[in-house]
């Protein structure tokens, strides 16, 4: 039993570090960094029926958290200007409502959902990084273990909230 505690500590550190890396992939999607971030997007839609839009109109279009991108093979390409919290509102994103389904025109539902999902991801990432550094303190003290567990619980809550809102 004495060997199980250090092995579980190392395993939890590795899982937490892996979760932090995956959350960074989600948050940095649409940036012009390159691989592997150019594989990540949260929605792809055919936009051939949209007419009269601006130059960001790709077919198909991929929404990421920093830009709207086109597709080349299986990669994001020709991404527009990057900005934090690229919201999902096709009529505002493309500058037209011609060819859009009626449920997407003049509806702020998806705009708010995409904006708040971004916020939950950032909060989850912050608490996960805090938990990672506190877990190093947890190797030495019991108080560090309590604080690390609590911040991990908060990060898990916000990550689950962001995943639920994204779907």
Determine the pLDDT at residue 10. Answer: 84
Strand order in the sheet with 61-63: 43-45, 61-63, 68-72, 75-77
If asked whether residues 15 and 66 sit together in one domain, one would say: no
If asked whether residues 56 and 98 sit together in one domain, one would say: yes
**Is 90 part of a structural domain of the chain?**
yes
Determine the pLDDT at residue 130. Answer: 95
For the segment 97-138, what is each residue's pLDDT rounded down to a tens digit? 777 777 777 778 888 888 888 899 999 999 999 999 998 888
**Is 146 part of a structural domain of the chain?**
yes
Burial of 68 (C-beta count, 10 Å sphere; 0-12/13-18/19+): buried
**pTM listed for this prediction:** 0.82
Please report how many Cα atoms fall inside a 13 Å half-sphere around the Cα of residue 115, on the Cβ side.
Answer: 7
pLDDT over threshold 80, residue 12:
yes
**Average pLDDT of 90-101?**
78
User: End of a domain among 89, 107, 125?
Assistant: 107
**Is 101 part of a structural domain of the chain?**
yes
If asked whether residues 26 and 72 sit together in one domain, one would say: no
What does the CA dihedral 129, 69, 90, 21 come to, rounded to 10 degrees?
Answer: -10
If asked whether residues 153 and 138 sit together in one domain, one would say: yes
If asked whether residues 56 and 101 sit together in one domain, one would say: yes
If asked whether residues 144 and 118 sit together in one domain, one would say: yes
30 with 77: CB under 8 angstroms?
no
If asked whether residues 58 and 78 sit together in one domain, one would say: yes
**Is 7 part of a structural domain of the chain?**
yes
Determine the pLDDT at residue 1. Answer: 64
With b meaning 16 or more CB within 10 Å and e meaning fewer, what string describes 82-111? eeeebbbbbbebbebbeebeeebeeeeebb
If asked whether residues 114 and 100 sit together in one domain, one would say: no
Determine the pLDDT at residue 59. Answer: 78
**Is 113 part of a structural domain of the chain?**
yes
The number of folded domains in the chain is: 2
**Is 35 part of a structural domain of the chain?**
no
Q: What are phi and psi of 92, to 5 degrees?
A: -80, -35
Q: Which among 16-20, 59-63, 87-91, 92-96 has the top mean pLDDT? A: 16-20
84 with 66: CB under 8 angstroms?
yes
What is the gyration radius of the CA atoms in the chain, in angstroms? 20
Q: Which domain covers residue 57, as residue numbers?
A: 42-107
pLDDT over threshold 90, residue 20:
yes
**Is 78 part of a structural domain of the chain?**
yes
If asked whether residues 115 and 103 sit together in one domain, one would say: no
If asked whether residues 90 and 137 sit together in one domain, one would say: no
């Amino acid at each position: 039993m004495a060997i199980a505690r250090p092995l579980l500590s190392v395993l939890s550190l590795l899982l937490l570090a892996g979760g932090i890396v995956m959350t960074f992939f989600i948050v940095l999607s649409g940036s012009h960094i390159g691989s592997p971030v150019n594989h990540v997007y949260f929605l792809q839609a055919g936009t051939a029926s949209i007419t009269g839009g601006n130059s960001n109109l790709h077919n198909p279009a991929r929404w990421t958290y920093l830009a709207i991108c086109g597709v080349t093979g299986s990669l994001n390409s020709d991404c527009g200007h990057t900005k934090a919290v690229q919201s999902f509102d096709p009529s505002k994103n493309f500058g037209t409502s011609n060819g859009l389904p009626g449920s997407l025109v003049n509806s702020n539902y998806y705009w708010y959902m995409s904006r708040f999902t971004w916020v939950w991801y950032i909060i989850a990432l912050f608490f996960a990084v805090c938990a990672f550094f506190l877990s190093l303190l947890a190797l030495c003290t019991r108080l560090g273990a309590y604080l690390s567990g609590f911040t991990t619980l908060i990060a898990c809550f916000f990550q689950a909230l962001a995943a639920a809102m994204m779907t």
